[in-house]
Structure 1
Amino acid sequence: MKITAIEAIPFAIPYVKPLKFASGEVHTADHVLVRVHTDDGVIGVAEAPPRPFTYGETQTGIIAVIEQLFAPALIGLTLVEREVVNARLARTIGNPAAKSAVDMAIWDALGRTLELPVTSMLGGFTDRMRVSHMLGFADPAAMIAEVEKVRDQHGINVFKVKVGRRPVGLDTAVVRALRDRFGDSVELYVDANRGWTASESLRAMREMADLDLLFAEELCPADDVLGRRWLVERLDVPFVADESVPTPADVTREVLGKSATAISIKTARTGFTTSQRVHHLAEGLGVEVVMGNQIDGQIGSACAVAFGAAFELTSRRAGELSNFLDMSDDLLTEPLRIRDGLLRVPPGVGLGIDIDPEKLARYRTDH
C-alpha cells in the first residue's frame, strides 16, 4: 500500500452559464485532477477546484505545490499513514484545495485497496443526502425560472441565494420574490461571501425578517472582529462561518469569539482527515454544520456526499451538492444523478467513481 506517484492533471470544462457571487465569478471549471498511485497498482482520485479570490490558489499553483513539494514528501509512505501525511502537508502554509485533493485521493486509494466505501470508513451513517442548490446573482425572474427548472428536473426544494451586492435592496428584493412565488414549499438561506459591512448585513436581515430564512452565511468580513460579533448578537437565525474557518483553529476562534453560530464544512477545503477534525469539534461545541460546496465538479461532489452521509450531524441539513449541474460536462464514467432532491453516495469501493479516459483526454490542458 505504498504511495509510488502523485499526479496533478489540469483540466478545463466550461460552465453552461457564469456563476456570479460577491467575491467573484466563474466561467470555466479550471480544476486539477489528482491521482495517487500505489505499488499495488491502485489509483485513488480527487479534484482540486482553485478559488484564487477566496484562498489565493490557482490551477498552476496547485499543480506546482503538488509536484514540487507534496509528492516528494509523501512518496514511500503507506496509505494508512494518514497522520504522517497530514503532518507533512502541514509544513506548507495555505494551499487548502491542493492538500485536500491529495488527502482525499489517498482515502479513495485506501478504500479501493481494502474494498470498502470511503463513506463507510468515515462513519457510514447513511447513504444519501438532501441537496441544496446555489442560486447566483441574477434578476428575480431569472432566479425564479432556475428554481422552477431545478425543482422540476431534480426535486430540489432547498436553495442557497447568493447576496452581497450594493445596494442591499437588490438582493432582499430577489429573496422576497422567491418566497412570494414559492411560499413555504421551498427552504431558503442567504450567503453574502463577505460582501456587506456589518451594518448593511443587519439592515438586509431585518428587511428579510419575515421570510423564514434557515440561516445566513458570511455576510461580512471575518477581519471586522467587533462588527461581526455585533452583527451575530443581533441575528435570530444561525450565522454560518465558511471562508473564515479553513482550519479547526479558525472554527474555535469564530465560535468561541461569538462571531459565528454554525459552520460550513467543505471537503474541497479540508479533505476528509481535517474535515473529521472540524466535524468532531463542531459536535463538541454544539454548533450546527452545513456541507458546503467550492463549486465542485462531480468528483468533488462525490467526495462531499461521501463525507456528509457518513455522520449524523452533517446529514441533518441539505448539503450543497449540485453545482455540477451548471457544468457542460464532467469526467466520470457514470455521472452523478440527483433524484427527488436526494444525492446518493455512489455505490462501490473507495469513492465509487471512475474517470472516463476519453473525457479526460478531451478536457485536460497539459498537452
Structure 2
Amino acid sequence: MDIEPFALERWFARYEHDADIMLAESGIRSLDADRFDTDVGELGYVVPTNGDPELRATIAEQYDRDAAEVCCTCGAQEANLLVFLTLLDDADHAVVVTPTYQSLRSVPESLGEVTTVALDPPTWDLDVESVADAIRRETSLVVLNNPNNPTGRYLSEETVRAVYDLAADADAYLLCDEVYRLLAEDPLPPVASMGEYGISTSSVTKAYGLAGLRFGWLAGPAEVVDAAWDWKDYTTISPGQFGQHLARQALDQREAILAENRTVAAENRSITREWVERHDLSWHDPVGVNGFVTVPDGFESGEAFCRRVVEEEGVVLAPGETFGHPDRFRIGFGLPTETLREGIQRVDSVLHDDR
C-alpha cells in the first residue's frame, strides 16, 4: 500500500513549531482543561473498546440511531480510516468530492480506485449529475466533507440528499465527514440519519474546541460499524480513557459550548470578511472556521505568498497547493479573537510592503 505524503501536515511540520501565530488552524479556539473534571481515575483501556455504551448512546441520538451503530475512535481521522478499510479494496471504486481534506482522497486512492468530482469555484457548487456520471457498477463509497474544508461551502440538504439517493441506488454508502456541522447556526440533518446507506464521522475537535482529546466517532449501519470495530482492533484498540472522560462532559455541556463557539466563529468571520474585502480578495463566505481566499496580486502562487508571510512575520497560513488550488490559500479564523487580529495585522505588513 502506497500513499502520498500529507502535503498540509508536511507544511505545518516545516513551519508551525517555530511560528508565532497559527492562522491556518482549522478548528475553533481550544477550551481550557480546568473547565472539566480531569480526574479520570484508573488509566486503563476503555472497555468495551468501541467506547462506553452510555456515551455511544448519547452520540447515537444525534443520528437517530442506537449505541450499537456508533464506534468511538481516536479523532475523526481514525473514524474515516476505519470506514475506508472496511469498504474499499483493490476491486472497489470510490467517488470523492474535492477539494477536501487530503486524507479523504489519498487514503481511498491507496486502497482502491478513485474518481474525483470537483466543486465549482468561486461558489464551490456541487453538480449532482457529475456525481451520477462518476458512479460505476463497482462503486462502494461516495465521500463528502460538509461543511467543506478548505472552502467553507455548506452544501444544501437538497444536494446532500440527492447524492445520498445516488449512492443508495448504486448500493454504495455515502460517507460524510461532518466535523464542522455543529458550528453552523442551523445545522443540517447528518448523513447517518438519512438511511441505511448513510455514514457520518465527527469528533470533539473542530466544533467543541477539544483537539487535544483526540476523540471522535463514526455512526452508521451496524454492519459497517461492526466491521470498522474489527479493524480498530488493529489500529488503536480503544479510544483514550482521558479523551472519553472529558468528551462525555463536553457532550453534557453541548448546548453551552456550541453557543459560545458559534459566537466566536461569527465574530471572527466578520473580522476576516472585512479583511478579505479590504484587500480586494475573494472567498466564498464560509460556514465553519476556514476560508479559501484568492492569492493577492504580486505573488505567483499560494505557496509563495504563505512562505513569505511565515518567514517574515511568523504567521502560518495554508497554501492552496495542499488542496490542489495554487491560486488560493486557506485562512483559519477560529483562534482567539485578539490573536486573529494580530495575525491579520502581521499579514497586512507583508501586503503593504509589497505594494
Tell me which protein shows more strand as a share of its residues. 1
Output the TM-score relative to the length of structure 2: 0.29
Higher relative contact order (CA 8 A, sep 6+): 2
